[in-house]
A = this chain, B = another copy of it.
Amino acid sequence: MRMLTEQHIDDLALGAAVLGTGGGGDPYIGRLLAIEAIRKFGPVKLLTLDEIGDDELVVPAAMMGAPTVMVEKIPNGREIVAAFKALAGYLGQPIAAVMSIEAGGLNSIMPISVAAEMGLPLIDCDGMGRAFPEIQMVTHTIFGVSATPMTMADEKGNTVLINTIDNHWTERFSRSITVDMGGSALIALYAATGKQLKELAVRGTMTYAEEIGKTVRLARQQEANPVEAVRRITGGFQAFKGKVVDLQRRTVGGFARGEAHLDGLDEYNGSKMIIHFQNEHLVAMRDEKYVVTVPDLITVLDVDTGEPITTEGLRYGFRIVVIGIPCDSRWRTQKGLELVGPRYFGYDVDYIPVEQRLG
A209 to B176 alpha-carbon distance, docked (Å): 37
A215 within 8 A of B: no
Task: Place the interface of chain A in its size category.
Answer: 10 to 19
* Interface pair B173/A163, CB less than 8 Å apart: no
Q: Mark A80-116, 1 if CB is under 8 A from B, else 0.
A: 0000001000000000000000000000000000000
Known: A176-B180, A177-B176. A160 touches B160 (CB 8 A): yes
Q: Are A158 and B173 in contact (CB under 8 A)?
A: yes
Q: Which of A130-138, A164-172, A288-296 contacts B (4 or more CB under 8 A)?
A: A164-172
Question: Cβ of A162 and Cβ of B163 under 8 Å apart?
Answer: no
Per the bound structure, the CA–CA distance linking A235 and B301 in Å amounts to 74
The answer to whether A157 has its CB under 8 Å from any CB of chain B is: yes
Indicate whether A352 reaches chain B with its CB closer than 8 angstroms. no
Instruction: Please name all residues of chain B whose beta carbon is closer than 8 Å to the beta carbon of A177 when the two chains form the complex.
Output: 173, 176-177
Q: Is A2 an interface residue (CB 8 A)?
A: no
Chain B residues with CB below 8 A from A172, complex form:
180
Smallest CB gap from A170: residue in B:
B158
Residues of B within 8 A of A164 (CB): 158
Closest to A164 in B: B158
CB pair B179–A156 under 8 Å, yes or no, is no
Give A contacts to B, CB under 8 Å.
86, 156-165, 169, 172-173, 176-177, 179-180
User: Can you identify 11 A-B contacts, CB atoms within 8 angstroms?
Assistant: A158-B162, A158-B163, A158-B164, A158-B165, A158-B169, A158-B173, A160-B161, A161-B163, A172-B180, A173-B177, A177-B177
